Chain A
Amino acid sequence: MSLSLFLLQLVNGVEYGLLLFLVASGLTLIFGVLGVLNFAHGSFYMLGAYLAYWIADRTGSLAVAILVGVPLMALLGLLVERLAIARLYARDHLSQVLLTYGLILLFNELQRTLFGSDVHGVEIPRALAFRIPLGDQEWPAYRVATALACLAVALAMRQAILRTRFGMRVRAGASNAEMVEALGIDVRRLFSSLFAAGAALAALAGMLAAPLTTVYPGMGESVLILSFVVVVIGGIGSIKGAFLGALLVGLSDTFGKVLLPGFASAMVYAVMAAVLVFRPRGLLGQQA
């Protein structure tokens, strides 16, 4: 492999990893703070992508779709939390899995009724429909833009969690929810808004990915599985871990395809297994 091709594959892997991070961050947040195993997280990704298609198709602008769609999806997240998830905080993980799996079926049916079973394309915004030369190859500008957007969201999340009052409460809620409640903070509301944020993040990822992946039934499930891999590698509940995990998954998937094509589909899981052998709670999980 020539150096320029190696660098290009490196960029491919990082770009893929950053998009995975956007989905996985919401999943790990919800599990880390709320203690809920949310199988329906992939559905938010899928619904985000469909919303991007539906709005962009009518307004001709992906930016409008994101500006309108993300708050809508946050609202949906709030609704789901209030109506369903909130009843399960005290229950064990099995009940949560059953409920959120049921939500997957519900959302898939909703998607089928509203949008049908066809595959849909979303136009790349005109301003980004060009290519950037990279050595003797080219790289689509929209991919660079999504990578940068994901990176920006990651940094913003870091700032929000470390520097804001909301972030402080989230961190406190993650370590001891009862104590936080005793201090007079409405944990219920905190949890609701956090769940909504998680749903919005997944939807944003779906919207950004829509022009690249096209929009199709069942697109949420494949992302869900990879997100779980990212979360497990990174350490459940750790945002920073999810970031590292996502990059690791992105890179190992990309290089696995190029260097070990026969093993490509198992590569990501082999990496996960290897990480778990040495760090059973993931890269940055709280070690027992």
Chain B
Amino acid sequence: MSAPVVSRRTLLGATAASLLARRAFAATSAKLRIGLLLPYSGTYAALGNNITDAMKLAAQELGGKLGGREIEWVAVDDESDPAKAPANVNKLIAGEKVDILTGPVHSGVAMAMMQIVRQEKVLTIVTNAGAQAVTGTLCVPHVFRTSFSNWQTSYPCAEVMLKAGHKKAVLMFWNYAFGQESMAAFKEGYAKGGGSIMKEIAVPFPTTEFQANLSEIAALKPDAVFVFFAGAGAAKFVKDYDGAGLRGKIPLYGSGFLTDGVLAAEGPAAEGVKTTLHYADGLDNPANKRFREAFQKATGRSADVYAVAGYDTVHVLGQALGRVQGDTGAQKDLIAALEAARIDSPRGPFRFSKAHNPVQNIYLREVKGGKEVVLGIAMKDAEDPAAGCAMNAPPSELRPSPAQPAPPAK
């Protein structure tokens, strides 16, 4: 019979284990710091506020805790200024030591943010910006997106237009990344279905003087027009389109931002405008009804597509953090839990693709009687092709196994 010998190695191991346990305990009992990099001033202030309030609403629904940890919000006004983004991101990561970073609205800010978080390895959730690169060429395992990719808002519309018999289209868009990516996606789908593009009109951002181009469209007489404009520019375009007598003659299509949030400003000029987006205010499902009522009650404002992304961000985090007991230090497990998460979003079923962009339904909506009416699903479980993202490639391409040596070079 030999007395149990406590070797130095087991002792060290035990100490390490207890240390690890203590670390895990510390991690789960400390407050969960969530950074919000959003615009609270300037043109996009309303978007930033809606995302923030919806996140807080979701947190409240989950009892104010995610994975057992109380939440501490750390908000920074990004002013939608890409030039200030590096300083703001560093403030949140290095200064405030946030566990999870969320935001922004502006794609330019998102691109600047990506450069830093790719190095810093902080779990990041993009809550609005639709730039393709976030879940495309710049994709990394610790970055997720809960909103949409530009591709998702435009590609499905091509098929919708072709189905309606519109074979010849004129495209018009604001000539910056968002507009260009939307148009590229649309053209991809339109060409695939045999449609031809009569003319592409690129309008310098943020110009809103459209009259000359509208006269041109009237002379070209296309089957339909597909556009990308957002915010004030969208409102102005829709009114000008009507003013020039084109509404009712040449059907107007666009990605959902053409009417979302500006429908009241557009008034009767928006009647009959058809758009595609991953959400619609009037979407008929129990989750959406619950969400809209709760948001209205909490804030006194109407919820919108931006609020939905904020709301889903916290719910999806809640589910994943619950699975890892709130331990944000176990990043690999947390990422796996996020990848496995499924939520019943106000927008419909929601999960992440391999590239960490939402897989979601894209709806076809039409403005009728001053309201956005859902005509149906334009594309079910739409998944961004995630061009250029290594995470999207089949595993064999990612890690060539040593058992199968590369073919000899010729």
Chain A 105-130 interface mask (CB, 8 Å, partner B; 1/0): 00000001000111111011000000
Q: A112-B45, A121-B266 are in contact. Are A212 and B240 (CB under 8 A)?
A: yes
Residues of chain A within 8 A of B202, CB atoms compared: 261-262
CA distance A131 to B45 in the complex (A): 37
CA distance A245 to B264 in the complex (A): 36
Q: A117-B46, A131-B245 are in contact. Are A13 and B216 (CB under 8 A)?
A: no
Residues of chain B within 8 A of A217, CB atoms compared: 42-43, 232
CA distance A218 to B240 in the complex (A): 20
Q: A15-B211, A140-B244, A142-B243 are in contact. Are A218 and B267 (CB under 8 A)?
A: no
Classify the secondary structure of B's interface with A: helix
Shortest distance between the CB of A42 and any CB in chain B (Å): 14
Q: Please determine whether A119 and B212 come into contact, CB atoms closer than 8 angstroms.
A: no
Which of B192-240 touch A at CB < 8 Å? 201-204, 206-209, 211-213, 215-216, 218-219, 231-232, 235-236, 239-240
Residues of chain A within 8 A of B138, CB atoms compared: none
Shortest distance between the CB of B229 and any CB in chain A (Å): 11
Most B CB within 10 A of own CB, among A212, A219, A261: A261
Q: Please determine whether A12 and B43 come into contact, CB atoms closer than 8 angstroms.
A: no
**For the complex, is B262 an interface residue (Cβ under 8 Å from A)?**
yes
Residues of chain A within 8 A of B243, CB atoms compared: 124, 131, 140, 142-143, 212
**For the complex, is A178 an interface residue (Cβ under 8 Å from B)?**
no
CA distance A37 to B165 in the complex (A): 56
CA distance A212 to B201 in the complex (A): 21
Write the chain B residue with the least CB distance to A116: B46
Q: Please determine whether B218 and A137 come into contact, CB atoms closer than 8 angstroms.
A: yes
Question: Pick the contact of A119 from B42, B262, B269 — CB < 8 Å?
Answer: B262
Q: Please determine whether A16 and B209 come into contact, CB atoms closer than 8 angstroms.
A: yes
Which of A229-288 touch B at CB < 8 Å? 253-255, 257-258, 261-262, 264-265
Q: Please determine whether B212 and A258 come into contact, CB atoms closer than 8 angstroms.
A: yes
Q: Please determine whether A261 and B201 come into contact, CB atoms closer than 8 angstroms.
A: yes
Q: Please determine whether A216 and B215 come into contact, CB atoms closer than 8 angstroms.
A: no
With an 8 Å Cβ cutoff, the count of chain B residues facing the other chain is: 36
Shortest distance between the CB of B269 and any CB in chain A (Å): 8
**For the complex, is A59 an interface residue (Cβ under 8 Å from B)?**
no
Shortest distance between the CB of B44 and any CB in chain A (Å): 8
Question: Pick the contact of B265 from A9, A118, A261, A262 — CB < 8 Å?
Answer: A118
Which of B3-46 touch A at CB < 8 Å? 41-43, 45-46
Most B CB within 10 A of own CB, among A143, A217, A254: A217
Chain A 2-30 interface mask (CB, 8 Å, partner B; 1/0): 10010011001101100000000000000
Q: Would you mind naming 13 contact pairs between A and B with Cβ atoms under 8 Å apart?
A: A5-B216, A118-B46, A118-B265, A137-B244, A215-B265, A216-B43, A216-B232, A218-B42, A222-B206, A257-B209, A261-B202, A264-B204, A265-B207
